[in-house]
Chain A
Amino acid sequence: MVKMAIQVRTLFALALTLVASFAGAQSLEKIVVSAPGPRNISYLPLDLIPAIGADRDEGVDLQILHTGGGSVALNNLVTRNADFAVAGFPAVMSLDANGGDVVGIAPVDDAPLFVLMVRSGLKGKVKRIADLRGKVIGVNTSTKSSKTTSQQLAELLLKSDGVDLDMVRIVPAGQSWVEQSSLMISGTADAVMGDEPFASRLAADGKVFFLANLADPATSGKIPGANFLHATLATRSDMIRDQPETVAKMVRMMVKSLQWIASHKPEQLVDKLKVDDPEERTSLLLALRRYPHAFSRDGKFSSSQLKDTQIFFHKTSEGNAKAQSLQIENLINDTWAGRRH
């Protein structure tokens, strides 16, 4: 009899817990954000938001829609699959040049982290970018209306070394470990304009070698506006107009995540993200240590970086009159994030 009473009590307590959690969930505002990934270093601040509970603090249930590239994430934003997107700002500008309605509202990265990696089988044969002529090159997946930053950068590097774009085959390489590693390991692509920490992980496994690294001054020196703004939180103008409170919440969450990263060690970040796979953990820690200034520390736009971004985009879109006439200030709304000079 006593045992039965205990069971009844346990069930009652469980029921109460379920009801309470359901009631709690009911009151949260659902916000969908689309971003490349998962576990792509450039977009880690977004993954961290639910991990540190910043969304719950704002009364938000944050859902992250991972995609194979910033352009796809932006497409999700435009087609209402998501309320916000995180993508490289050159991709945002590309979308705007093609008539998309998108506005950058907060910076996520401080430094663009791109690595042009070449599969190991070509070591000795490919020593410089010009050697990629006739090769298959993977880039983050673009869409019809937006070209990813990765593709823009790859094309700029190739052109800067005198490689005609007709002399290479550009294939989509996604923006996750599975996608980028499979292309390299299988040899489906010869080189990939890849992301961290995947590139470092592949290099550590001896599967690839780096032909160019944007963090390397030797590479960035060749590229006008190399310090461009990469991952940026963006939304549509109708969201800003109709739901300014939601936009404010999203920016606050992002800023909180950036501040958390700035005040914690890479190990704490990796722990918080619950990266259990040893290899993934190691590579992520390696990348985080290698690029200590990867993320914006205060979540404020930098005027000089925006200027670099415009230079970079204008350089990559030479020949496109509409893209050339684009002014970055028209695509930025720093009402919530703020600006530093």
Chain B
Amino acid sequence: MGWPPPLAAKRRSITRQAAVRLIFSLGLFVVLLGYSSYRLYSVALQKSAHERSEDLATFYRTRLMQLDRDWDLQTRDFKVRLEVTRMLEDRKTSVTNLQAFMTVQGTNRRFQYLLIQNRRGDKVFSFGNDLDVERIPIAADEDSGWHFAPNTGSLYRVFTAPIWLGEAGNGRLAMFYEIDNGLLFNLATPGILLTAKRDGKPIASSFGQAGLGQRPENRIADDELREIPWTTSNGEKTQLCIDAPIKVLFTKTELAVGAATIPIIDGLILWFTLGFWLMRNARRINQLGGAVEEFTARQQPTATLEEKLHCARGELVDEISEVACTIEDMAAQTHRLKSETEKLLRRNHALMQNSMDGIHVMDVQGNIVEANDAFCRMLGYTQEEMAHLHVADLEAQWSAEQLRERFKELVGKSGRFETVHRRKDGTLINVEISISSIEIDGQFFSVAASRDITERKSTEEELKLSAQLLNTTSDSIFLLDLDGNFVFLNEAAWKSRGYTRAELMAMNVRELTTPEFSKLVASRTKEMLANGQGIIESEHRCKDGSIMSVEVVSRLIESGGRKLFLSSCRDISERKKNKAMLMQYKLVLETSIDGFWVTDMRGHLLEANAAYARMSGYAVAELVNMHISQLEAIELKPEDVQAHIAKIAVQGYDRFETRHRRKDGQEIDVEISVTHMAEPERLVVFCRDISVRKRIEQEMITLNNQLTDDVIKRTADLSALAARIQTISETEKSNLARELHDELGSTLACISMELGRLKGKLSSPDLLQDLSAAKALLSNATQITRGVIDQLYPTILNHSGFVAAVEWLVKGYREHSGITVELAIPKEEIAMEQTFALAAYRITQECLTNIAKHAGASKVRIEAKVSDGFLNLTIQDNGKGMPGEIGINRHGIFGMTERARFLGGSMEIKSEDGRGTTARLSLPLAAKPNNRKRVLVVDDHSIIRDAIRQLLEDETDDFSVAGEAADGKTAIEMAIEGAWDVMLLDISLPKKNGIQVLEKVAAAKPNLPIIMLSTHRESTYGEIARSKGAAFYIEKGETRKLVEAMRQATLRQ
């Protein structure tokens, strides 16, 4: 990869090269100077540090000797003090006194331990920090020495002196001075780290624990380390290690400034001595280069060239000025030669530019050397663009390789050929090229003259194409003269009629036409000659004798100086047949009794029959272009109409009833049948007037409603009667139970007491035996009587309540039936009106009896809960269940259900074959304030719920809203838990939609009538809702229908 020309020129610049070399030499000089300075500085520093460490070693040797001397003097001082007190001479002197003497001396600041021993070496006295030393640890003939305490790792310098012990003679005194951090801290000069070592192991440090913990590898490299023996004794094991930082001669800043100053000064010297001279000559050479570039570019002497050469010559006469003079001469000669050549070229150029044909000159590689204006115009290039092109850039027919081969062949020869060139805009042109080869200065060139033959080629192609088109079209093309003789036929003309070309060419048009139309040929020819063209229908006879209906389009043309008819014939036999059939259908529709119309897919009527015109009161012409919403009596939004059309388009067919408004404003009921047709998309509609039928239906509904009301009233009367009978029955049972208890029970008790009294009077064993038998019978009769009383009326219910009564009932039931009963009822008594408690008790009793008799169960669960003023009682067994649908008359179920319903409650029984039976009773705790049926309203809009509540309050006296729910989930819970007579359910609900709620509630409470209430049309959801268990589907707003539906639904229940 090469450098870009300007960058390459800069790199070649001698000025640049000179500057680079200068900088490089200066840099090298700086590096070498820096390195050598550094080496010199390091050596100087090391020598300085070495001398300093020698000085430090000498200093600390002196300090250690002085310390030893001080300790020795101190030892002797203490010896004298103790001897002066003479306390050691008196054996009676207590140790306490000696200790007190030592304490007041402040000894613990001076030494760590003092030990006195007698001549035999026995310890006489010791003081100070506890040291496990019983004998002086150095030889008797030595004044000083060392003691190392291995347990603490402490090292002591020990000094001894003889001490007078009186009659015991001279003993020995030894004082222990610890070599600790504090000692070295006081001994060290600032910045010096002193470490005492024993056998190479550090004992103490002037830096404290931190100094002891410092590892050799962490030491600063610039430290000078020296070790000196503590004493001058031979084999001294204790060393003082002196660690002193090397004192640098210069700071880093000083070094940096020094290092930077030297190369700057050196650089200035170099610049003033060599740099200036070098740069001036480099600039002259640079000017020479510029002069050469200028001459190369201009090829003639210019002011710039003169100026550059003048600068290069300068004031000096040297090699550079000589080169400048030579370039000046060469420029003058070159200019003269160039002028002559240009004259010659202008002449040739004029010749080329005046040529009509495009001329261009190429070298043997195919590079275009020159081209005239005609050639450039032909290909859409400018002269400058053309000068940079290769012939392969123009050539569209041959590849570059083929072109090269062709050029090789043409060297020294001439030739003519046709090819295709590509213009600058990409279009192709056909060219005819005449090429010849010429030689200039030993180099071969090709001169090519090109002519545009595109138009000629195009014409030829068009002719070929026309012939092909005529033969491929399905229509028959005839060219015939004014006498009806065929001049030209296309393939379709003779093939479709079963002839060969030759056979048909030999015929006249009158022979081809049937006699009926053959007669018309002369008049039609005359007419077309007058108009120049015409469209006629005719019939051609095929070779097999069949007749072909044709539509002929003819035009008069001139060819070869004579007038001819160019006719195009199309077979229209099928079209004619369809047209006839369509006419028949139209007639049928026109005469139909039912209305009929066709609309486009936007609902606009395209046509209508007379029947619908009569039906609607409009004229057929008025109906066309009307929109179907204009005919509808029910107001429809455009989007509703469009949605319905879209639905029909999908289904393909729909049938529904609606109402239309006639032109005179009268409304009629109609039944509509719509069919969707494709290609073109249309709706074909049949409409039937069903007004009469509808009227009859309405009358039937009215009659049905009246009947329903009668039935409801009658049913209510019957229910009231049944309740009355129930009440009377219960009252009678209660009275009978009381009579039995009071009369029969008392009598039996009296008899029992009498028999007891009689037993005391009888002595005969036989009589006593008879008496016992009579007592047993009496006891049995008493038990039976009690059972009958309890069956007739559970007195416990009166004085203990429902819960106690059920517990009592269950207890007896367990004993008699042997069935396990699980009781889950409230521990507290439930406050219920007597009638309701008795009903609940009776239903429970009835259920348990049924289970014992029919279920074959081993376990029963009774669960009672109180919620929202209702007792919810569930009795579930694990018996065989009741197969099939549960009949309302079986096992007293009807009675129980009616009893619950009359009291405003409900009862449901669920059973599956082999999976037990579950009875659910929901009973109010007390009588309702009114006897309206309880309605549960489910709608997410409170305004709707309020409207329904108001409607039922105002318009009915048999329904009231007893519960409301605003979402699907709440609705399910309320519907299942509560006792309702009817449920009104919206479809669009949050959490769960109406259809889902319907499914759940219908499964859990199959007897609860559910009425779907929605804004959606019944046609949309009605069928689905009914299939899921809804009793009715009512559109919102149909209040009358809603009330009727509620009544019918509750009646069915």
Binding site for B on A (CB under 8 A): 30-32, 66-68, 72, 75-76, 78-83, 138, 141, 143, 171-174, 178-179, 181-183, 185-189, 242-243
| B96 cross-chain contacts in A, Cβ below 8 A | 181-182, 185-186
Task: Identify the interface centre among A75, A76, A187, A188: most chain B CB within 10 Å of its CB.
Answer: A188
- A199 vs chain B, min Cβ distance (A): 16
The answer to whether the Cβ of B207 comes within 8 Å of any Cβ in the partner chain is yes
Q: List 23 A-B contacts (CB under 8 A).
A: A30-B209, A31-B209, A68-B106, A76-B182, A79-B181, A79-B185, A80-B209, A80-B211, A81-B208, A83-B208, A141-B106, A172-B104, A172-B105, A172-B106, A174-B108, A182-B97, A182-B99, A186-B96, A186-B99, A186-B100, A188-B97, A189-B104, A243-B210
The answer to whether B698 has its CB under 8 Å from any CB of chain A is no
Could you tell me which B residues sit within 8 Å of A by CB distance? Answer: 94, 96-97, 99-101, 103-106, 108-109, 129, 180-186, 205-211
Contacts A181-B96, A183-B100, A183-B104 hold; do A81 and B109 have CB atoms under 8 A apart? no
Given A141-B108, A143-B109, A181-B96; A188-B207 close (CB under 8 Å): no
Which of chain B's residues has its CB closest to A236's CB? B208
In the complex, the answer to whether B182 meets A75 with C-beta atoms within 8 Å is: yes
Known contacts A68-B108, A141-B109; A172/B103 CB under 8 A: yes
The residue of chain A having its C-beta at the shortest distance from the C-beta of B208 within the complex is A80
CB-based closest 7 A-B pairs: A80-B208, A79-B182, A182-B99, A188-B100, A186-B100, A81-B182, A182-B100
A80 near B181: Cβ-Cβ < 8 Å: yes
A153 to B184, CA, bound (A): 33
Contact B209 A186 (CB under 8 A): no
A179 touches B103 (CB 8 A): yes
Chain B residues lying within 8 Å of A183, measured Cβ to Cβ, are 100, 103-104
Q: How far is the CA of A315 from the CA of B109 in the complex (A)?
A: 28
Taking A172-B104, A183-B104 as known contacts, 18 extra A-B pairs with beta carbons closer than 8 A to each other, sorted by chain A number, are A66-B129, A68-B109, A72-B108, A79-B182, A79-B183, A80-B185, A80-B206, A81-B208, A83-B209, A141-B106, A141-B109, A171-B104, A173-B104, A174-B103, A182-B97, A183-B100, A185-B100, A188-B100
Residue on B with the closest CB to A71?
Answer: B109
B residues less than 8 Å from A81 (CB atoms): 180-182, 185, 208
Q: How far is the CB of B269 from chain A (nearest CB, A)?
A: 51
B99–A179 CB distance below 8 A = yes
Pick the contact of B104 from A72, A79, A80, A188 — CB < 8 Å?
A: A188
In whole Å, how far is A46's beta carbon from the nearest beta carbon of chain B?
17
Collect the chain A residues with CB atoms within 8 Å of residue B101's CB.
186, 188
| A80 adjacent to B99 (CB under 8 Å) | no
A67 neighbours in B (Cβ, 8 Å): 108
A242 / chain B contacts, CB cutoff of 8 Å: 210
Which residue from chain B places its CB closest to the CB of A63 in the assembled complex? Answer: B152
Instruction: Please judge, given known A-B contacts A68-B108, A243-B210, whether A178 and B99 are in contact too, CB under 8 Å.
Output: yes
A80 in contact with B207 (CB, 8 Å): yes
| B103 CB contact (under 8 Å) in A32, A72, A173 | A173
Q: With contacts A83-B208, A181-B96 known, is A188 near B182, CB below 8 A? A: no
CB-CB under 8 A from A78, the residues of chain B are 185
Tell me if B94 and A80 are in contact (CB < 8 A): no
Verify A32–B106 contact, CB threshold 8 A: no
B632 smallest CB distance to A (angstroms): 90
For the complex, what is the distance from the CA of A66 to the CA of B106, rounded to whole Å?
15
CB-CB nearest in chain B for A173: B103
> Which residues from chain A contact B209 at a C-beta distance below 8 Å?
30-32, 80, 83
A143 to B186 CA separation, bound complex (whole angstroms): 15
Q: Shortest distance in angstroms between A31's beta carbon and chain B's nearest beta carbon?
A: 8
* Complexed CA–CA distance, A188 and B103 (Å): 9
Distance A239 CA – B129 CA, assembled complex (angstroms): 27
In the complex the two chains form, what is the Cα distance from A243 to B211 in whole Å?
13
Measured CA separation A242–B213 after assembly (Å): 13
> A182 contacts B208, CB within 8 Å?
no
Q: How far is the CA of A72 from the CA of B207 in the complex (A)?
A: 18
Task: Name the residue on A nearest B213 (C-beta).
Answer: A30
- Kindly list chain A residues whose C-beta atoms are within 8 Å of the C-beta of B103: 68, 138, 171-174, 178-179, 182-183, 188
In the bound complex, CA of A78 to CA of B211 (Å): 14
Chain A residue numbers with a CB within 8 Å of B208 are 80-83
Whether B182 lies near A80 (C-beta < 8 A) is: yes
Residues of B within 8 A of A141 (CB): 106, 108-109
Inside 8 A of B94's CB, which chain A residues have their CB? 186
Residue of A nearest to B186 (CB): A79
Which residues of A lie under 8 Å from residue B186 when comparing CB positions?
Answer: 79
What CA separation (Å) do A241 and B106 show in the bound complex? Answer: 34
Q: Which of chain B's residues has its CB closest to A243's CB?
A: B210
Q: Which residue of the partner chain B has the closest CB to A30?
A: B209
Nearest CB of B to A34, in Å: 10
Q: Which residues of B contact A181 (CB under 8 A)?
A: 96
| Chain A residue at minimal CB-CB distance from B205 | A80
- Cβ distance B728 to chain A, nearest Cβ, rounded Å: 86
Chain B residues with CB below 8 A from A31, complex form: 209
Most buried by A among B100, B108, B180: B100
With the chains together, A260 CA to B104 CA distance in Å?
36
B349 CB to nearest A CB, Å? 95
Distance from A95 Cβ to chain B, minimum over Cβ atoms (Å) = 14
CB neighbours of A243 from chain B (8 A): 210
Which residues of the other chain, B, contact A185 by a CB distance below 8 angstroms?
Answer: 96, 100
CB distance from B52 to the nearest CB of A (A): 24
A186 with B108: in contact, given A79-B182, A79-B186, A80-B206 (CB under 8 Å)?
Answer: no
A138 and B103 CA atoms in complex are apart in Å by 10
User: How far does the Cβ of B176 sit from chain A's closest Cβ, in whole Å?
Assistant: 15
The smallest C-beta distance from B636 to any residue of chain A, in angstroms, reads: 84
Docked complex Cα distance between A185 and B96 (Å): 7
On chain A, the residues within 8 Å of B97 by CB distance are 182, 186, 188
- Bound: A68/B207 CA distance, A: 24
> How distant is A8 from chain B, measured CB to nearest CB, in Å?
28
Report how far A305 CA is from B403 CA in the complex, Å. 112
Residue of A72, A173, A178 near B109 (CB, 8 A) is A72
Q: State the CA gap A83–B185 with chains docked (Å).
A: 13
In the bound complex, CA of A76 to CA of B209 (Å): 12
Of the candidates B104, B180, B181, B206, the one having the most CB atoms from chain A within 10 angstroms of its own CB is B104
CB distance from B212 to the nearest CB of A (A): 8
Chain B residue with Cβ nearest A185: B96
Q: What is the CA–CA distance of A112 and B1048 in the complex, to the nearest angstrom?
A: 102
Q: Return the chain B residue nearest A32 by Cβ.
A: B209
CA distance A242 to B94 in the complex (A): 50
CA distance A173 to B108 in the complex (A): 11
Nearest opposing residue in chain B for A31, CB measure: B209
CB distance from B1037 to the nearest CB of A (A): 79
State in angstroms the CA–CA spacing of A186 and B100 once bound together: 7
Query: By CB atoms of chain B within 10 A, which of A30, A138, A178 has the most?
Result: A178
| Complex interface: chain B residues within 8 A of A66 (CB) | 129
Distance (Å) between the CB of B834 and the closest chain A CB?
Answer: 71
Complexed CA–CA distance, A188 and B85 (Å): 13
A68 to B180 alpha-carbon distance, docked (Å): 17
Residues of B with C-beta under 8 A to A75: 109, 182
